[in-house]
Structure 1
């Protein structure tokens, strides 16, 4: 009798409530309602997320909007979201209910008090929800119509926090302010660089647009592909100007192979941050007084050392069987006459074997894999290793290298693109040529 009166733990109570509302959710078909009524229904819900998810049903399009616009939001933010969604519902826009656009619409609602035009005067001119979102953002926050295309496209690509706050940057630029005066920039730049940054192509990330502008200001746009393919296309550092001088070093050398830039940058990073052959790190290392021939020779020598020392481990606790958590990207199998496999490498020994087979330095990505920043995949054709792929945690394929760091051929590129499309991975345009 005493057990019947014992209060339920909170988790058990949530599960019980979820079961109670589940049967009611099955009988409720909110999709048949007019859009304004659907919005009112969404904002009438109240409770913990497990209960709301059970009430709305599995994989409901409303659940992400509840989580972004209502759950744990202050009253003012909730009212702004309600006003925005009701305004959009009245216009019968395709923006509702697209789960992938919920974060962007929540950001639009948060910035509504700083709009330059009223929502009531906006009319969708396309049935494509992504184009509608771009049109809405320009209407509300772009007073002069000159916010760069890559900034606007970041809203539809889900990159509102792409090295900087894109939503705040949109409002800043929409008021006619200079881009270089934005307080959230991770690096400073000149007026000339800002001019080219505004001209960067749509679809670029902030880092890609910045590299485009930096190279355009140096009259070195021909080097954009190799730069984006190197570590300069994956991260910004405090000594960013030093890495741009490495590009200058290559650009000033006649007949220098542009695609050697990536391996050389890896060698320089190892020398400056870690050390090579037992030497301590040299943070002040530079290319001043060095020839391209000597740099390429030392880079190749370092790659050979990595490939020829499979039993050398960088720390005592590390073994060839050391493993790490996998990135949630499925492996791939295809082809008939020549079977194709794309497999995630998950042990240090596998990284070593991949580097030995293809003569590159993939073993140096050990820490990135262990920390979950990157995952390494191996593409094989007919059982033979052909291409090594690096996929970052944001599901972007940032590197594709074959034997001696060569680029993928057309056949390999087609299989990589198919695998990426099946798993919704982003493949930058420069990566596969």
Structure 2
């Protein structure tokens, strides 16, 4: 008797299920590889062969873990650990991501010294930490990272408030370069004396890092939290202004490219063809003090904003004119005794004619400054109307 279509479909489905079940029964799970203890030992011994207190061949781990990081830590404990140490030191054997070779070596060496029972202060950390700070680093309150343990130890030298010390240790200060340790220790002292929310501390750390990049001698002495916060907001406004000017410059560059013209590179605009100028007064002049006067063109967003901030005027708003080529902005400064003092900001039109000159807070130029200005104008062919 002929089978119906439904019966044939049901039988086909049953055959597929049986074939699938048979396939599953034939599948054999692949054997998991055995833990690679030799590799873990080799990685733990790297660079510290002569420091081991136990024979590597005597390691008989009873571990089921196949995680290379955990095996490496277990190997390090066997080789070097006479005493238990905190997780802050042990973590380097588990994860060294984002660290350069020198930092990895330093952290491993600190672990080896501490785990063997040596004096971490005398053998390594005394370069940065006091004895008491080393003790606090080795005995952190809770499970902290290496960086947090390090900086909470520093902070606790300046405050008895453990919560404040931990807040500072978990801020962006923990990720600052150790080669600038003296400066950032001063920053920790400042925030211990002037407690602030962690979010504000992180924002101020960004600002202080920028200050440090601009001036290696930058210090917090004599500064207050309120003044720093105000300066930080000014810095943020400067960054926003630079971003707007840069956006305008890029738009102008794209427009020039569409017109078949080459756009200047390096984040600058073409500006005037006049060269920068410098002049040293004669030693016979009564006011000469080994000074040099310099007039240079400002042809980038950062330079315009820096001039605005230093001179307390609005020259940064002239960026659009500079980018369009209808104006150029120049800065007259006096250099001497290792210092540079901004004196005047100068605007020229596209024909290199003097449009306006302003000093600090838009004051007019002083008589001595006018004489220097006249020398520059004569030397560079600037038309003074």
Normalising by structure 1, we get a TM-score of: 0.42
Which entry has the higher C-alpha Rg, 1 or 2? 2
Normalising by structure 2, we get a TM-score of: 0.47
